[in-house]
Amino acid sequence: MAVEDIIADLKAMTASEFNRKRLFNSRAWYFEANPNGTLQGDYDDFCGLLAQVLNVNPRNLAIVGSAKFGVSLAPPKKFKPFDATSDIDVVVVDQSWFEEIWKHLREADLNGYGDAKKEYAREIFHKYICLKPDHHFDTNYLREVIKKTDDIKRRVATPLGIVHPITYRVYAHWSDVSAYHLMSTQRLKDSLP
């Protein structure tokens, strides 16, 4: 989808309509464009394998961000194209995984690892937890969480030929995903000339 088409849709649709029709549909630019020529599957394959590893319904997964559209929809990034430095942002809706990660974050904080609270407070306020591939924790509480993301890389990203890092935004409920992205899309709409 060209930037001009995205902007036209943002102007013509409500934020809710844009999210329903464009953001949370079953297409992702990354799998259609195959930017590195390395992919061995499509968006459905990705969601299917990831769902198996996480033991969730594939409908509880979605690619968002620049891998979704080929450009970033974050207002400060001004439609920056997906490139070699970009990551793939994946929404995962799973209450049990969210609660497990939150439990580990609280345990880490209560046991002297204060960086956990500082690093995740904003995200928790918006009711998600972001697991980035470059996080390295000096605490056993959070290493278990990272082991799970490493397992995903081994069982999903590598077999499908995905070379970009994957960032997981873990939410407990779709209503939290919807609320966050509604706010974000509205901010983007408001920033357009």
Spell out the domain ranges in the chain. 3-191
**pLDDT reported for residue 8:** 97
**pLDDT reported for residue 136:** 60
Residue type, 103: K
**pLDDT reported for residue 138:** 62
Distance CA 76, CA 146 (A): 29
**pLDDT reported for residue 139:** 66
For residue range 134-183, list pLDDT tens digits in order: 666 666 767 777 778 888 888 999 899 999 999 999 999 999 999 999 99
Distance CA 84, CA 81 (A): 10
Q: Which residues of the chain have pLDDT under 70?
A: 134-139, 141
Please answer whether residues 45 and 160 qualify as being in contact, where contact means their C-beta atoms are separated by less than 8 angstroms.
Answer: yes
Please answer whether residues 65 and 24 qualify as being in contact, where contact means their C-beta atoms are separated by less than 8 angstroms.
Answer: no
**pLDDT reported for residue 127:** 92
**pLDDT reported for residue 16:** 97
**pLDDT reported for residue 134:** 65
